[in-house]
Amino acid sequence: MNVTRLPVRLTADARRVIARSFVPGELPRIRAVIDRVRALPDAEVSSMVASLVTDYRQRHKDIRGIFRQNYATAIGLARESLETSDERRLLLGAYFTSEYALESVALFNPSMVPHPDQNGVARGSVRFIMSLRACGEGHISSIEFRTGTVDAGHSVSIEPPTRFALTARPVDDAVYDKESYLRKLVEMRAHSALAEPVLALLDNYFTMSDLRYAIEKCRTSGSVTYFEELADNMLWLAHSNYELEFSPDAALSERVIFPVSESESRGIEDARFVRFVHPDGRVAYFATYTAYNGFRALPQLIETTDFRHFKMNTLNGRCVQNKGMALFPRKVGDQFVMASRLDGENIYLLKSDNIHFWNESTLVHAPKFPWEIVQVGNCGSPIETEEGWILLTHGVGPMRQYWIGALLLDLEDPSRVIGELSEPMLVPNADERDGYVPNVVYSCGALRHGDSLFIPYAVSDSRIAMATVSTADLLAQLKS
């Protein structure tokens, strides 16, 4: 089987920065900073603001807007109002802002899907979106994007990103589904008799404002401790399910999904994007990712149709464990299907009639060959062919080497393995062994175009390369 490495390289760029809210300490320290800036002479404030705007507007698209936003955040934390000039607000905002270099550590673990907009693409070519895991200071991971094209001759080009990187604030009053919310509340063991009056005040679809109102309406003088615990849990669950919306004029390469909720405070890792076709023909893009809070890793779900508006949702059920869940690109029968490594060691197949809840699992593949004895997992969502589902896999062997292999699953019953590779198809070559985590090749999702698979992959958790293989050749090896 001929696996060809393409001349495609993406490397981390420490110059790509976002501007984040910076909180230097507890309430007394926040107020102390505010008081010190209040005491500065007007002339010095004007001079400092002019210098800051000149210095940072080349690094951020709307530096004044960022300063104003972070000023409002700081004043809210200080729980006070401040009558002052716009320039002093801007300066205060600057003191409560810091830059974060998204890729200062690494850029890795890509997935690849067809772009929702194929207008203007030449015959025989396809425009794609690649998601990337960026890692910066404190090993905090976020999701970035690049766009590119595979032409009829299988040449791959990737558009360079702009000089800006932007995050999005959660959408105010995103809508929650009451049924799913209740199921998750029960699963968290946070549901109690005290929750019933709160839930009774909520419609089938409700907003965060509705939830806050219902909680305050039901707050009683009795059982204060238990009610506060319930309120905290109910709000935490809502905050873990949120929506992001980027400005229409933000290029895709500028959009960064950075951790927002407490459950992902230490990173959003390894997004596995897939183009999903519903039974009625509607197309959506889903991605499973790992939310990490510094103590626990949990799979979560992203949904989008345009890569501008994103819904971030918790995944629920007894099978939602560990890392590496990957959704099939369509329903099989009348159920959603997911590949998973729920025990950290083996590949399982999950089925559900609700994309947010997963309780049914079947063991599909356990470590078998020498190159996967430590553990096996998927390398992204399965790829449908006439012969079956190709599931790219990763195996961990001696010296903690990560290699990429593949399984062939039955089209109608994907819990049945009908083909496998006894040897890995992609191993680190001499130029790929060194990096943040040595001896690793790893992918979060490949793209099928024409008669070939295009596999973007991480090189030793540091940079990104790409390989291609004939689909027919791979199927032949899998069936042999």
Beta bridge partners of 463: 459
Q: Between the CA of residue 439 and those of 108, 271, 321, 398, 461, what are the distances in Å?
A: 14, 21, 26, 10, 9
Which amino acid is located at 203 in the chain? D
Q: How far apart are CA 291 and CA 320, in angstroms?
A: 12
In sequence order, the 6+-apart residues with CB closer than 8 A to the CB of 165 are 16, 17, 18, 102, 144, 254, 256
**CB-count burial class (<10 Å; 0-12, 13-18, 19+) for 103:** buried
Q: How crowded is the C-beta side of 406, counted as CA atoms within 13 Å?
A: 28
Q: Which ranges in 25-123 belong to alpha helices (H)?
A: 27-38, 42-56, 63-78, 86-95
Helix (H/G/I), strand (E/B), else coil: 122: coil
Q: Where are the domains of the chain?
A: 3-12+102-169+242-479, 17-101, 176-239
181: enclosing H helix or E strand: helix 178-187
Q: How far apart are CA 473 and CA 257, in angstroms?
A: 37
Please tell me what DSSP assigns to residue 376.
Answer: E
Please tell me what DSSP assigns to residue 161.
Answer: P
Q: Between the CA of residue 90 and those of 22, 38, 83, what are the distances in Å?
A: 14, 12, 13
Q: How crowded is the C-beta side of 403, counted as CA atoms within 13 Å?
A: 23
Helix (H/G/I), strand (E/B), else coil: 313: strand
Question: Which of these, 108, 102, 155, 164, lies nearest to 131 by C-alpha position?
Answer: 108
Share of the chain above pLDDT 90, in %: 85
Local confidence band at 80 (pLDDT 50, 70, 90 cut-offs) = confident
Q: Would you say residue 53 has pLDDT above 80?
A: yes
Q: How far apart are CA 121 and CA 418, in angstroms?
A: 36
β-bridge pairing 126-135 and 106-114:
antiparallel
Looking up tokens 């309430």 gives 27
Averaged pLDDT of the chain: 94
> What DSSP line would sit under 253-269, residue for residue?
GGB-B---SGGGTTEEE
Total-model pTM: 0.92
Structure confidence by residue, pLDDT tens digits, 269-310: 999 999 999 999 999 999 999 998 888 888 899 999 999 999
Structure confidence by residue, pLDDT tens digits, 173-200: 788 999 989 988 998 888 989 999 999 9
Rounded average pLDDT over 118-130:
97
Q: What is the CA radius of gyration of the chain?
A: 24
CATH homologous superfamily for 3-12+102-169+242-479?
Glycosyl hydrolase domain; family 43 (2.115.10.20)
363: enclosing H helix or E strand: strand 360-365
Structure confidence by residue, pLDDT tens digits, 207-254: 999 999 999 999 875 567 888 889 988 998 888 889 999 999 999 999
Which tokens hold the place of 224? 């204060």
Judge contact between 294 and 287, C-beta under 8 A. no
Give the sign of the dihedral formed by CA 72, CA 76, CA 77, CA 81: positive
Q: Which ranges in 201-258 belong to alpha helices (H)?
A: 208-218, 224-239
Structure confidence by residue, pLDDT tens digits, 245-278: 999 999 999 999 999 888 898 999 999 999 999 9
